[in-house]
């Protein structure tokens, strides 16, 4: 168990082997962080997923008796944090649950809260623990409407719940004890797949947090930020404002490799524009949705292609486009391509989706009848050049 500061401990659980977190590909596992603050009064900040309740109780019991906890803070009701609350409220017999009004409603929709002692708190409240105190920031939609964060001003620690988290199971708890590029890769995957639709609210949260003196950010997933706070705050600002990288993503599905050949030719064209471009042809049936969304987050330009199956795109491409649409990424310039045999379908159905998502189509659709001819491959190469140049321009607009 790690100590963040004098008598503030991490008491949550590490889920080493979770590999699917409601469709998030948690290839490195996950953690459900909870924190114990010991003072004249004791507080538990957040709980854990239901199956990890005993781990939570064991960790708390190493430091104090369960009956000596005075407050349980619920920053967010999603069951990965609230699942253990029914057991927590039963066994922490002297605890009052602190949450905002929306949170109480959401808790009531999930659990029988009739016997829970609940105190509603908001941004103007300050709960004294003795030498330290807890303040609260409402952060709606980061990640649910009731989400909030808890701040201990005397320690300059922000308990940020989902924000700034990563799905990364490790034996250490702090960012300076692990490889920073890996933490940032996982933080980006987490942001892209969970937080992207709420970028505007993230910017508001960053604005509110700007005035807080901060020495530590303790999220509810992954490692605690005590050294690289500037890195994660600036990355969130970039991701939430939709900053583009010099990048071209080519997403495709293929049946007999015609569409694959086209994708690779588009990639060659884009690569020929500049060695400074990140160009990635991605076969979507060999790549997780999680990775696709992570790569899409900062991509300004995409080509999307599919072979034709029963007059439509191939079905996994439908799943990818559904996922992308829901995540509401900043608009991307796009082109559709693909092959067909005796009738149209694949690239045409993709183009409809792209238009529906308001992704401007910046080059004519590229179609191949069965195998791509040299003329079709040349069109792919030239389109790749167009996309590459556009990606460079878009990335420059950030400067
Ligand atoms: Fe980690 Fe929105 O729950």
3-state secondary structure the chain: CCEEECCEEECCEEECCCCCECCECCCCCEEECCEEEECCCEEEECCCCHHHHHHHHHHHHCCCCHHHCCEEECCCCCHHHHCCHHHHHHHCCCCEEEECHHHHHHHHHHCCCCCCCEEECCCCCEEECCCCEEEEEECCCCCCCCCEEEEECCCCEEEEECCCCCCCCCCCCEHHHCCHHHHHHHHHHHHHHHHHHHHHHHHHHHHHHHCCCCCEEEECCCCEECCCHHHHHHHHHHHHHCCCCCEEEEEEECCCCHHHHHHHHHHHHHHCCCCCCEEEEEEHHHCCHHHHHHHHCCCCEEEEEECEECCEECHHHHHHHHHHHHHCCCCCEEEEEEEECCCCCHHHHHHHHHHHCCCCECCCCEEEECCCCHHHHHHHHHHHHHHHHHHHHHHHCCC
How far, in Å, from the CA of 271 to the mean position of ligand 1? 38
pLDDT score recorded for residue 362: 97
Q: If you average pLDDT over residues 29-55, what whole number do you get?
A: 98
Verify whether ligand 1 is closer than 6 Å to residue 167 (CB atom).
no
Which two three-digit tokens encode residue 332?
């991307």
**pLDDT at site 67:** 97
Which tens digit of pLDDT belongs to each residue from 115-132?
Answer: 999 999 999 999 999 999
Catalytic annotation on 80? yes
Asked if 283 is an active-site residue, the reply is: no
115 is catalytic: no
Q: Is 76 in the pocket of ligand 1 (CB under 6 A)?
A: yes
| 81 CB near ligand 1 (under 6 Å) | yes
- Residue 215 annotated in active site: no
* CA 283 to ligand 1 center in whole angstroms: 29
Average pLDDT over the chain reads 96
CA distance 281 to 264: 7
220 lines ligand 1 (CB under 6 A): yes
Q: How confident is the model at residue 211 (pLDDT cuts 50, 70, 90)?
A: confident
Average of pLDDT values for 292-306? 98
Average pLDDT over residues 147-158: 97
CA of residue 177 to ligand 1 center, whole Å: 24
Check if 150 has its Cβ closer than 6 Å to any atom of ligand 1.
Answer: no
Q: How far is the CA of 74 from the centre of ligand 1 (A)?
A: 12
| Nearest CA, atom 3, ligand 1 | 78
Give this prediction's pTM.
0.95
Buried b (16+ CB within 10 A) or exposed e, 71-83: bbbbbbbbebbbb
pLDDT band at 264 (very low <50, low <70, confident <90, very high): very high
Whole-angstrom distance, CA of residue 211 vs CA of residue 244: 27
Q: Cα(78) to centroid of ligand 1, in Å?
A: 5
CB-ligand 1 contact for 49 (6 Å cutoff): no
Whether pLDDT at 399 is above 80: no
- The one catalytic residue among 15, 25, 146, 162: 162
Q: Which residues contact 173 (CB under 8 A, 6 or more apart)?
A: 2, 10, 223, 224
pLDDT digits (tens, 9 = 90+) for 332-370: 999 999 999 998 899 999 999 999 999 999 999 999 999
Specify whether 143 is catalytic: yes
Q: How confident is the model at residue 344, as a pLDDT?
A: 87
């Amino acid at each position: 168990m790690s100590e963040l500061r004098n008598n503030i401990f991490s008491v949550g659980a590490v889920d080493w082997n979770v590999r699917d977190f409601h469709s998030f590909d948690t290839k490195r596992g996950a953690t459900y962080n909870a924190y114990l603050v010991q003072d004249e009064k004791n507080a538990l900040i957040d709980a854990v997923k239901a199956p990890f309740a005993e781990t939570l109780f064991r960790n708390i019991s190493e430091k104090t008796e369960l009956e000596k906890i005075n407050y349980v803070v619920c920053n967010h009701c999603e069951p990965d944090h609230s699942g253990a609350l029914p057991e927590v409220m039963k066994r922490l017999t002297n605890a009052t649950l602190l949450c905002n009004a929306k949170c109480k409603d959401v808790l009531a929709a999930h659990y029988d809260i009739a016997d829970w002692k609940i105190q509603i708190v908001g941004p103007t409240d300050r709960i004294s623990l003795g030498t330290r105190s807890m303040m609260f920031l409402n952060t709606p939609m980061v990640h649910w409407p009731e989400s909030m964060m808890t701040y201990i001003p005397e320690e300059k620690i922000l308990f940020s719940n989902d924000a700034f988290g990563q799905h990364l199971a490790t034996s250490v708890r702090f960012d300076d004890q692990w490889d920073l590029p890996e933490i940032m890769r996982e933080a980006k995957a987490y942001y892209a797949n969970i937080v992207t639709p709420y970028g505007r609210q993230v910017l508001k949260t960053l604005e509110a947090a700007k005035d807080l003196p901060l020495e530590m950010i303790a999220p509810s997933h992954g490692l605690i930020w005590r050294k690289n706070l500037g890195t994660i705050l600036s990355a969130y600002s970039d991701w939430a404002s939709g900053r583009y990288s010099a990048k071209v993503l080519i997403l495709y599905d293929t049946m007999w490799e015609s569409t694959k050949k086209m994708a690779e030719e588009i990639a060659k064209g884009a690569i020929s524009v500049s060695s400074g471009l990140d160009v990635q042809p991605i076969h979507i049936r060999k790549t997780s949705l999680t990775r696709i969304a992570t790569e899409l987050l900062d991509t300004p330009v995409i080509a999307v292609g599919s072979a034709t199956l029963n007059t439509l795109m191939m079905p996994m491409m439908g799943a990818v486009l559904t996922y992308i649409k829901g995540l509401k990424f900043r608009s991307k310039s796009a082109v559709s391509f693909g092959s067909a045999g005796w009738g149209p379908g694949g690239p045409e159905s993709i183009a409809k989706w792209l238009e529906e998502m308001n992704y401007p189509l910046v080059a004519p659709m590229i179609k191949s009848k069965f195998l791509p001819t040299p003329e079709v491959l040349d069109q792919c190469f030239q389109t790749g050049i167009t996309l590459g140049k556009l990606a460079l321009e878009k990335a420059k607009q950030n400067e």
